[in-house]
Amino acid sequence: MSLAVSRAGGGDRTLAPLGRRASRVVANEPTGGYRLLSAVDETGPVPEAGQFYMLTAGTRWGGDGRRPWLPRAFSAATAEPREGGGVRLGFLLEDVGPGTGSLAALREGEELLITGPLGRPYSDPTDLNPDAAGAILVGGGIGLAPLAMLRRSLADRGIPQRSLLGFRDRAHAGGMELFRCSDVGLASEDGHVGHRGYVTDLLARMLDGDGAATAAVYSCGPPAMLEAVRLMCAERGVVCELALESPMACGFGACFGCAVPLADGGYMRLCVDGPVVRGDQIETAMPAGSGHR
């Protein structure tokens, strides 16, 4: 059964069933420089866009003192409810270390241990800005994962949205098909696709060209890109929500490893008060040890 609680200023979150459960890998396919790992969660609820799972590859995790020891956090990139209950989940992976390496090696039929869905999802545009005419989605690299799910959720409900995606180079690009839409603005630093430069160049053009006052911006990507989006929106008085990363050991509020400084002092635990945060809530979108560059 799926449960939801409402939080002031944030989207409804779907709560995770207690404890870790086993799901079954049904596909693990390359997509550009990334992999899309799909698994069937027989009993879990359908996540909201922006929520994440703590993942462990059943029999391919550590042992003999080798890393990884702890589960790793991954955004839900796709979530398709199944007739009779449960959900088929898709995770977009970039192989950057022992955890992502083990997950990338999983084969069909193997076990994937999951805890989730966790964290606070993206809000609806009109919850962020009552005058919002639609959403602008800005993704960088592997950060397109939660935005793919957000785009589909907005489209299913008839909420207008425009998408901008940026990549460092060909090796750090993939998953664009998850957007299921041909009208996506593209940028790459090496010029292999779309505008040669940063995706934030496209965002600046869009915000300055039209409709900044009625926009709500949603973003996920490397910290430097998120910080640029945050500052760009702040300068123009545009509301934005960012999905951040920080090192997560537990994913549900117990270890305090994911603390991120708040704009008005103090800290938030990103796993329970994020990973989606409003731009004006935080001091910086570049918390230490974020992982992806």
Ligand X SMILES: Cc1cc2nc3c(=O)[nH]c(=O)nc-3n(C[C@H](O)[C@H](O)[C@H](O)COP(=O)(O)OP(=O)(O)OC[C@H]3O[C@@H](n4cnc5c(N)ncnc54)[C@H](O)[C@@H]3O)c2cc1C
Which residues here bind ligand X, judged by CB under 6 A? 52, 68, 72-75, 91-94, 96-101, 142, 145, 245-248, 275, 289, 291-292
Tell me how far, at minimum, the Cβ of 293 lies from ligand X, in Å. Answer: 7
* Cβ distance to ligand X smaller for residue 135 or 250: 250
Nearest to 152 by CA among 111, 197, 122: 122
Please tell me the distance from the alpha carbon of residue 173 to that of residue 247, in angstroms, as a whole number: 23
Nearest to 193 by CA among 29, 74, 33, 30: 33
Please tell me the distance from the alpha carbon of residue 48 to that of residue 64, in angstroms, as a whole number: 37
Please tell me the distance from the alpha carbon of residue 199 to that of residue 213, in angstroms, as a whole number: 20
* Cβ distance to ligand X smaller for residue 14 or 129: 14
Tell me how far, at minimum, the Cβ of 283 lies from ligand X, in Å. Answer: 18
* Cβ distance to ligand X smaller for residue 112 or 207: 112
Tell me how far, at minimum, the Cβ of 118 lies from ligand X, in Å. Answer: 8
19 binds, among ligand FES, ligand X, none (CB under 5 to 8 A by kind): none
Q: CA 171 → CA 1, 75, 95, 129, 163, distances in Å?
A: 40, 20, 11, 37, 21
- Residues 234-249 as b/e (b if ≥16 CB within 10 A, e otherwise) read eeeebbbbbbbbbbbb
94 binds, among ligand X, ligand FES, none (CB under 5 to 8 A by kind): ligand X
Tell me how far, at minimum, the Cβ of 208 lies from ligand FES, in Å. Answer: 37
57 binds, among ligand FES, ligand X, none (CB under 5 to 8 A by kind): none
Tell me how far, at minimum, the Cβ of 247 lies from ligand FES, in Å. Answer: 8
Please tell me the distance from the alpha carbon of residue 165 to that of residue 186, in angstroms, as a whole number: 5
* Cβ distance to ligand FES smaller for residue 36 or 271: 271
Q: How far is CA 251 from the centre of its chain?
A: 14
DSSP reduced 3-state for 14: strand
253 binds, among ligand FES, ligand X, none (CB under 5 to 8 A by kind): ligand FES
* Cβ distance to ligand X smaller for residue 132 or 274: 274
Q: Taking phi first (over 0 means left), then psi (-120 to 50 degrees means alpha), and beta for anything else, what does residue 253 get?
A: left
Tell me how far, at minimum, the Cβ of 235 lies from ligand X, in Å. Answer: 27
Residue ranges that bind ligand FES, judged by CB under 6 A: 248-251, 253-258, 269, 271
273 binds, among ligand FES, ligand X, none (CB under 5 to 8 A by kind): none
